[in-house]
Structure formats: C-alpha cells, structure tokens
Structure 1
Amino acid sequence: MSKEDFKMKDRLIKGITEDGHFKISVVKTSDVVKTAQKKHHLSLLNTVLLGRALTGTMLMASELKGEERVQLRFEGDGPVGSVVAEASRVGEIRGYVQRPEAELDYSKEDVKIGDGLGIGLLTFSKTLYNEAEPRRSTIELVKGNITDDLAYYMVQSEQVPSAILLDVGIDDDGVVTEAGGVLVQRMPDAPEGKIDKLQQKMKNFGSIHQMFEDGLYIDDLMEKVMHPIKVKELDRQPVDFFCRCTRKRFVDALAMLSYDDLKEISDEGQELVCHFCNEHYYVSQDEIEDILLQAKAKMN
C-alpha cells in the first residue's frame, strides 16, 4: 500500500462542535463495501443496501465503548428478504444478505431501491459491557432504503434528533467506487431548529462517493457538513470488514449439538459456512465421530 493509499484508507472520525451543540461522525467504508460485495457475490441492489447498512451500523457503533457492538437487522417481504449488519466500537464491521443475488426489475415504472426489502421491520440490538442480554428495539421500515429507516429509528427509539447520510457509489461495470456516511446528533443544550437546518442541508449535500472520488477525505466532509460551525476532533480510528469466526468455533458449536443430532450427521463430513463473511469450514467425518464419542461418554 502506498503512502497516499494509507492516508486515504477506510477510517471513522468523531467530532463535536465548538459550541457543544452537535456531535458528528464521518466514516469512509469503500474497502469495507468492496470486500462485502466480493465475499458475498452481491447483486448491485444488495451491494447498495448492505453497503449502506454496514456504513450506518459503524456510525451508530461510534457512540459505544471498547468492544461493545450494535447490530441492525432489516427484514421485509421483498426479494432481498433480510439485510444484517454488525459493527463494534473498535471498527470491526461485518454483514450479510439473505438472498445476495436478488435484483429488481428496473423496467417497471416507479420501481425504487426500497422495494428490495419491501414492507417489514428494523430490529436494533446493542451489546453493552456488564449486560448479559443485548438491548433490542424494533420499528417498522418506512422506506426500505436503509438511510431513511435509520433516521426514523433514531427519532422514534433513540429520541435523539439526528441527520444521517449514507452513500455507496457504483461505476458502469458494477464495481464499488467509494462509500461512506455522516451522522450528526443534537446535544441536549442545542437550540431548537438548528438540527432541522442541518437535516435540510444534508438532503442537498451531494454524493459522498463523488466527494471521495474528488480527493476529499473524512476531515474535509466533517468540516463541509458543519460549515460555518467550527468542529473539534475527538477521535479517529481505522475500520475494516472483519469477522471473528474460526474453524474451532464451528467445531465447538457442533459439540453443543445433542447426541441424536450428531448421530444423524456422523456418516459424512460437514461443510459449515459463516453467514457474516461467507467463509467455508470443512469438518471431517472422523472429527464428527470423535465429537459423537465425547457426547456418548457424557451420557454415561
């Protein structure tokens, strides 16, 4: 990787306005979305939907601590089925789509990207330190395009006036060019009406992917979104498409099956697939028979 590439790699930056009225997070997820497209063999529709979901999830995880994480699950009656994205505060992002090959018929009038998910639900899960179970909340999808659904969620469930922008650029060959997002949240002491102006400004902000293609970076976007309000940087970190799955974890999961379930699959090896990163792990017949013997021993 060249010095210039390293300088422009995927990262998240957090800031707060000098007047203390707004927090802002900006993330570049170009390589994250490219990796997801490649790993899951995504259609163009799903590249955009999952790309937006991965970007939005990382923006929401930026408010957490340490290895706390959030998960977004969009489920609908459209051809895509469901989109799942997960991110941790340390910058690990992963996700998948139920039907990665799904596409829309763009020859039909009034077809829109939200038709991919259709009518359905968004479930938000937050895993925090010292809490045995994740905190969950669910709302109906309002548009199915990810961006508007997240904006609606933050108003309805988080009750934090916010402005969010998510963008995935794709060239004529179907390849991801750049991707990223911006999240602005109003602090409790902010004057009424200011967030409304920012929301309107972001609606007309232009495409994030084009700004990245033009050589702007996350610092530039943070300044551009909040101008003329001055922003103080709080933190920055790299972000990556990263999954912690391992072959050992899958073998350990097999060992948790009942004796009868293990008996059913013991006559041949098993290929196990991680939903999140599409990694394939093969467990041989001999290994399954060993697990079966251990399960039988526990029964005696």
Structure 2
Amino acid sequence: MIKKPIPGDTKKSMLKARSRDRRYHFVMAGGAVRGVLIQGSRMLREMQLNHNLGVLESIVLGQAYLGTALIASGLKEDGLIQFKVECGGPLKGLSVEADSHGTVRGFLMENPIPLERVPETLDTSLLFGPGFLSVTRYTGDLNKAFTGQVELRSGRLAEDLAAYYEESEQIHTVFNLSVHLETTGEVSGGAALFLQAMPGADEHVLDMVQDAILEIPSLSRTFTAEMDVHEFLDTYLADFQPDLLADKRVEFMCGCSKSRFEKFLANLSPAEQKEIVDNGPFPVITTCHNCNTSYDFSRNELESLFKLG
C-alpha cells in the first residue's frame, strides 16, 4: 500500500496523529453495557486522500470505516469483518473490511457518486435507496465465515447497523458514526461510539444510555484527537460509571503490494499474458480497490514476469 502524503505533514506530526487514532473498550452500568469508542480522524483523512473523495463520498465511506471498525472490535481472535452494502440508489454500494488488529480498508462502488444535482442536505438516505446490508465474520485462518444480511431500513448507516444487530443477533445496540469536514471539504474529525446490552441486562438500561447519547453534541467535534478518553467518558457518560478496559490502534491500512499483483498477473493464462505484452498500453497499471493504490508494470517487467523475453 502507498499512502498519499497529507499536505504540511512532517514525519513527527504524522506519527503523532496516527498514534491518536485509537479504539477504546469499556463497560458501564455495572457491567450491563459494553462500549467501544473510536477516535479515527487521521484514518479518515488518509482514506479521503487515497480515494480522492468528495464531501458526500467522504461522509458515506468514513461512516462505513468507523462502523466496520466498531464491529471488528468484537473479534476475540485473529479475524476479519467484511461489511457490504448493495443498493439501488446512485451509490450502488460499498465494501469495507476491518480486522481484529484495527486496520481498515474499503471502497465505494461509485466514486464520485453520480447525482443529477447536489442534495440540499447531507442526509445519506438519498444515496442508498432500497438494498441489503451484510456482515461477514471470518475467524481464525479466515476459512470459516458466517454472514448475516438484512434489508436497509433508512440509508443511514448508524441506524441500519443497529437494525442489523436487532434483527440478525437480537441484541439491543446503539451506533453513533460521526465525520466532520471543514468548509474546504477536508476531513478534520472522525469518531464513533458503539454501545451494546450484555446478556441479562435490564431492557431499559440501554434506552437510558441511548437518551444520554442523544445529549452529546456532534461526536466528531466533541471527541477530538486531542481529547483524553477519560475526560470524554467522565463528561458525557459519568452517570453510568464507565470503566475503561483496554485500547488498541485503528488505522487505514491495506495489505496490497506490487508483488501481490505480480502473482496475479503471473497466474493469467498464456493467451492473456501474450495479449497484454503485445498490445499494452504501457505501463500496465493495476489498482487496488480497497486503498486505491496503483502499481505500474513496464513492458520489460512483464516480459520477464511472463518469461516471454
């Protein structure tokens, strides 16, 4: 993977910003509710730059990154979550993956989203239309997978993910997915909150917590990269006595590389390889959907790879 540089970045500021992107695990209400809080401002800014996203595209894909990272926080071992939406609206859909180690990657089916006119609001329901949301869990060696699927209810990812847990797993869950952009269109904040009732919890507990969450101003503005997580929890959820358990990094990261694309090209049929070498055009450019990194191959490289020289 090759990340596009952020204007004005230095190595020191880059490392500092990345270190602030974290996933915090906690319990509250006497253990009746488990929660995950994510600070992901740097992750979303890197996502925006690599995928060349506009305002609406940044909001939709940013919310999907945050939501998938929250779901992946429940993986107990090495594993992977794939979150997909297929829909009839102009967006067409999206695909995002996150693993138990906190890395996230993924893409929009349409970028830019084809719209006849710019919507007057940032209501994402206008982009989705009817469709389906699916969550696939891969565990261990990634050979075992379980997929749950539900119909989209609203086209607002936080609401639709909560509905997924309600329908597919019968667990009362709350999502808050927040992306903040400057007037220039640049992503400057990204934060997310996930709260879930534990088995045997009083059915009214999460309703009370949800009411408290509604009182929190824009999450991406409130829980900034510079804010201490204890300060946030003590300010907005103190009545439920949150107990911070652990934290892990979150990062926009993809495992693609030029060598992986070399293996793909090497496995093409002899006829396909000859067609590429004979007709080009050169350089041949391969692009990873998940991170939008491109890898170029010259004619000489391909002749050597295909052993046609």
> TM-score, normalization: structure 1?
0.88
Q: Which amino acid aligns with 1:245?
A: C
Query: Aligned ranges for residues 135-214 of structure 1 at < 5 Å?
Result: 135-213=146-224
CA contact (8 A) 1:162 1:199 kept: no
Q: Bigger CA drift: 205-214 or 138-147?
A: 205-214
**1:121–1:217 CA distance, 2 compared to 1 (3 A):** farther
CA contact (8 A) 2:18 2:43 kept: no
Please name the residue that 2:244 is paired with.
233
Alignment partners' CA distance in 1, 2:240 and 2:223: 22
**1:167–1:141 CA distance, 2 compared to 1 (3 A):** same
Q: Secondary structure at the match of 2:134?
A: strand
Task: Select the residue among 101, 110, 115 that pairs with 1:90.
Answer: 101
Q: Secondary structure at the match of 2:190?
A: strand
Task: Select the residue among 114, 120, 127 that pairs with 2:125.
Answer: 114
Q: Secondary structure at the match of 1:266?
A: helix
**1:252–1:86 CA distance, 2 compared to 1 (3 A):** same
Alignment partners' CA distance in 2, 1:103 and 1:207: 28
Task: Select the residue among 281, 286, 299 that pairs with 1:272.
Answer: 286
Unaligned runs of 5+ in 2: 1-11
The superposition leaves residues 20-53 of structure 1 with CA deviations (integer Å, 9 ceiling, x where unpaired) of 2111100011111111111111111110011111
**1:113–1:264 CA distance, 2 compared to 1 (3 A):** same
The superposition leaves residues 2-30 of structure 1 with CA deviations (integer Å, 9 ceiling, x where unpaired) of 69956971111101226221111000111
Please name the residue that 1:297 is paired with.
none
Please name the residue that 2:36 is paired with.
25
Q: Bigger CA drift: 178-187 or 62-71?
A: 62-71
The superposition leaves residues 120-149 of structure 1 with CA deviations (integer Å, 9 ceiling, x where unpaired) of 111211110145142212211111121111
The superposition leaves residues 43-65 of structure 1 with CA deviations (integer Å, 9 ceiling, x where unpaired) of 11110011111011111111113
CA contact (8 A) 1:12 1:218 kept: no
CA drift of 1:190 comes to: 1.2
The superposition leaves residues 164-220 of structure 1 with CA deviations (integer Å, 9 ceiling, x where unpaired) of 111001121111121110001111121121112222332342211221359534333
Matched pairs, number? 293
**1:131–1:48 CA distance, 2 compared to 1 (3 A):** closer
Alignment partners' CA distance in 1, 2:155 and 2:58: 14
**1:38–1:131 CA distance, 2 compared to 1 (3 A):** closer
Q: Bigger CA drift: 56-65 or 4-13?
A: 4-13
Q: Secondary structure at the match of 2:132?
A: strand
> TM-score, normalization: structure 2?
0.86
CA contact (8 A) 1:26 1:222 kept: no
CA drift of 1:73 comes to: 1.0
Task: Select the residue among 88, 107, 119 that pairs with 1:77.
Answer: 88
CA contact (8 A) 2:41 2:225 kept: no
Q: Pairwise CA RMSD of aligned residues?
A: 2.5
Tell whether 2:54 aligns with 1:43.
yes
Alignment partners' CA distance in 2, 1:241 and 1:4: 13
CA contact (8 A) 2:20 2:225 kept: no
Q: Secondary structure at the match of 1:169?
A: strand
Query: Percent identical across equivalent pairs?
Result: 27
Unaligned runs of 5+ in 1: 295-300
CA drift of 1:229 comes to: 1.6
